[in-house]
Structure 1
Amino acid sequence: MHHRIFIAFAIEDRWARDRLVGQARNQRTPFEWTDMSVKEPWSSDWKNRCRTRIRGCDGMIAFVTQNTANASGQLFEIRTAREEDVPLMGMYATQDNRPFVLPPELYGLSIVEWTWDNISNFLNRL
């Protein structure tokens, strides 16, 4: 089964999105990705397009780093996924810099290590 997954990340963590996409190609995983990374994410047009894109996805992977708490665009994406009942998985992008403060948007969400088993388990639940 092929899934469309939205990847939410702080712009400073763009490297993690790029790495996940590259790994997905190498692993031949059954998902395609999308995101809404832009330099100025707060126009109402961006928010509307972002909500539409998230609503069209089967799930969201939200990278979690020390940058997440201050990433207003990413936090909007996470809130939107929750409002639209899009399944959400938080995934640590790094193994260091923990513990750090999680923003309220992530409260109650299990944050997992970045492994293909965790990604596969998430995809299998969709």
Structure 2
Amino acid sequence: MAPKTVFLAFAEQDELFRDLFTAQWARAGDQARFLDSPGDGTCPGEWKKDVRERIRACDGVIALVGGYTPDSAEALWQIRCAVDAGKPLLGLWVETGHRAKPMEMGPARCESWTWENIGDFINRL
């Protein structure tokens, strides 16, 4: 089976969690490949267009939800974009002390960051 493509939504301040997530996943297997928002080289006016296109091209979206998420316009916009595109969405708690699910996620679940939860989500895509 071809690997699934999953977009990672996260607050800019949680970039360390994104790096940890992708590094750990790289050692776990090739079941999925992960994309996130374009880097600083993207023109400000093109950022949302690029993210929207990446999300539409993905099989699903994982939102890394932490203490910075509620105040991150970019992360919340990425989550809304995933919902608007009808993409399967999973929230992962990245910090034990911050468990406020963004209302933008709608009925999508937030779960603990475990490889079982991530694998189950990817297998459902």
TM-score (norm: length of structure 1): 0.89
1:119 maps to 2:114: no
Unaligned runs of 5+ in 1: none
Distance in 2, matches of 1:44 and 1:82, equals 22
1:51 maps to 2:58: no
Cα offset, 1:110, TM superposition: 1.3
Cα offset, 1:41, TM superposition: 8.4
When residues 63 and 4 of structure 1 are mapped into structure 2, their CA distance, relative to the original with a 3 A threshold, is: same
Unaligned runs of 5+ in 2: none
Contact preservation (8 Å) 2:64, 2:91: yes
Distance in 2, matches of 1:13 and 1:71, equals 10
The equivalences for 1:1-126 within 5 A come to 1=1, 2-36=3-37, 38=39, 43-98=44-99, 100=100, 102-126=101-125
**Runs of 4 or more off by more than 3 Å in structure 1?**
37-44
Distance in 1, matches of 2:40 and 2:75, equals 12
TM-score (norm: length of structure 2): 0.89
Deviations 1:4-41 (A, max 9, x none): 11001111111111011111111114111110154598
Identity across aligned pairs (percent)? 34
Cα offset, 1:46, TM superposition: 1.0
When residues 78 and 67 of structure 1 are mapped into structure 2, their CA distance, relative to the original with a 3 A threshold, is: same
Distance in 2, matches of 1:117 and 1:41, equals 34
Distance in 2, matches of 1:74 and 1:42, equals 18
| CA RMSD, Structure 1 to Structure 2 (Å) | 2.0
Contact preservation (8 Å) 1:62, 1:90: yes
